[in-house]
Amino acid sequence: MLERIINVLKQSEADGYQIVRTLTKSHEFFFIKNKLDMNRAKEVVHNNVTVFKKIEDGKFLGSSSIEVFDSSDDDEMKQMIDKAIYSASFVKNPYYELASPTTTTANENASSDILAIAKDFIEVMQEINVTPTEDINSYEIFVNENERRIVNSSGVDVSFSFVDSMLEVVVNARKGAEEIELYRNYVSGSCDKTALKNEIEETLNIGKDKCIAVDTPALKETKVLFSSASAVPFFRYYTANTNAASIYTKTSTYEVNKPVNDEVINGDKVTIKCVVELDNSSSNFPYDSDGNVVYERYLVEDGVCKNLWGAQQFSQYLNLEKSSMVYNLVVNGGSKSVEELRTGKYLEAIEFSDFQVHPMTGDFAGEIRLAYYHDGDKITVCTGGSISGNMKKAETQMWFSTEVKQYNNYVIPAVIAIEEVSVTGIE
């Protein structure tokens, strides 16, 4: 099929093309309680085709992307591709070259036994310690083995395989006549059985505590600890601001070899590194979507922007020596242990309805669904209200635990503490 697509593209009026073909073989299991309700296996192919068209004698390069189905015949493909070329002729991006073949080799990854991975997930779920008041309502397991090939008109032709998995779990917790439901979605490569078991049993405890939570007090400004996946957006903020596209469009003010914050830093300075492979990540890609080799580099080191990353297009616009996307990020731990951070008066925010950090302004906010307020003498389980702040201020008084924790393709400090965060209660 790929050869047929290439033949149609070569006969078209496209000035360039790129094809990302992904074959996904998957096993899926659906459980109610701990009883298998349904399972299935499937095989799906996606052919994502991008065509390029030179505009004004090559001053600009337009592009348009479509999906071509294996079931399409040559005439159908030609019609789809011609429409995409027409659309591309209206997109006036400054000209850039497509990725070229490189002599650098990458680890193409070995295939995995996805049924064995699915079995690991099932065994974990069977081992979860439930109680009469906290239990598993249902869960669904999806394990995929992917074979990807990237081909373009400049001679790139690379292939690799990777595994990604997803576990969706619904937890119920009850206290008297009250019952709540919690949904969790765990994305990973394979299955880390110990970490996953701990996460789900912690979710059962969260459900138990939510049944007894009281209104969050109006604390105005206080130390707030983040010790769950809700902390990941803090570090996506740095990833977004080191993106070549953000620099080019001036939505980021970062400059290489300059501090990300010019203020005096009283806390820990951030260090974040892109790595090619990360155990149990769903994003172990040796090549990016342009066909460039993914390489390791520090994005931010000790509070200083060290390197940028990005797609072929924007990397060329900024004249970057190397070009590639980033997929796996590792953040260094800080100077204090979890135990040291959990001292004094503080609010530990565990769960939000949604927590976001705006990549341009640095504003962050979230509505509290569960938190623990430590006033020095007692611990109060809280819900409701919200927290808010800004990264520029937070960076000057942010502390990271020495211990780290992995959330799929991010490894981050297990606990992040930020001083003087605004907490709006509902008392």
Structure tokens at 188: 């990973």
Distance between CA atoms of residues 132 and 152, nearest Å: 58
Coil, helix or strand at residue 247: helix
* Residue-level pLDDT, tens digit, the chain, 427 residues: 788 999 899 999 999 999 999 999 999 999 999 899 999 999 999 999 999 999 999 999 999 999 999 888 888 999 999 999 999 999 999 999 999 997 666 666 556 799 999 999 999 999 999 999 999 999 999 999 999 999 999 999 999 999 999 999 999 999 988 899 999 999 999 999 999 999 999 999 999 999 999 999 888 889 999 999 999 999 999 999 999 999 999 999 999 999 999 998 999 999 999 999 999 999 999 999 999 999 999 999 999 999 999 999 999 999 998 889 999 999 999 999 999 999 999 999 999 998 999 999 999 999 999 999 998 889 999 999 999 999 999 999 999 999 999 999 999 999 999 999 999 876 5
* C-alpha separations of 234 from 96, 97, 101, 202, 418 in Å: 32, 34, 35, 22, 11
User: 2-208: CATH homologous superfamily?
Assistant: PmbA/TldD superfamily (3.30.2290.10)
**pTM score:** 0.92
Reference 231, options 343, 334, 376, 304; nearest CA is: 334
Maximum pairwise Cα distance, the chain:
76
Q: What is the DSSP letter of 293?
A: B
Structure tokens at 229: 């996946």
End-to-end alpha-carbon separation of the chain, Å?
Answer: 63
Distance between CA atoms of residues 422 and 200, nearest Å: 30
Coil, helix or strand at residue 125: helix
Query: 135, exposed or middle or buried, with CB in 10 Å at 0-12, 13-18, 19+?
Result: middle
The residue ranges of every structural domain in the chain are 2-208, 214-427
